């Protein structure tokens, strides 16, 4: 299985029933629109969970830094 890590996206657009996501390295991901729409039901909660996890880690780091001052 090949993996692509997406740190940032450059552009998002849609055309001909497809969703295009351009990455920093010039790679473009193309999704069939209806399939992506169905997957969003699962993607959005996973993204929310990952976002909350990252925020909790950042909060811990800030607390550690503040203790050292």
Whole-number average pLDDT of the chain: 94
Alpha carbons 4 and 63: distance in angstroms, whole number: 33
7 token code pair: 């740190």
* Burial profile 15-54: b = 16 or more Cβ within 10 angstroms, e = fewer: eeeebebebeeeeeeeeeeeebeeeeeeeeeeeeeeeeee
Per-residue pLDDT of 2-16, as tens digits, reads: 998 999 999 999 999
For the chain, the domains span 9-68
Confidence of residue 22 (pLDDT cuts 50, 70, 90): very high
């Amino acid at each position: 299985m090949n993996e692509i890590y997406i740190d940032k996206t450059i552009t998002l657009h849609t055309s001909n029933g497809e969703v295009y996501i351009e990455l920093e390295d010039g790679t473009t991901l193309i999704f069939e629109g209806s399939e992506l729409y169905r997957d969003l039901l699962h993607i959005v909660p996973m993204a929310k969970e990952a976002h909350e996890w990252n925020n909790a880690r950042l909060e811990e780091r800030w607390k550690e830094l503040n203790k050292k001052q």
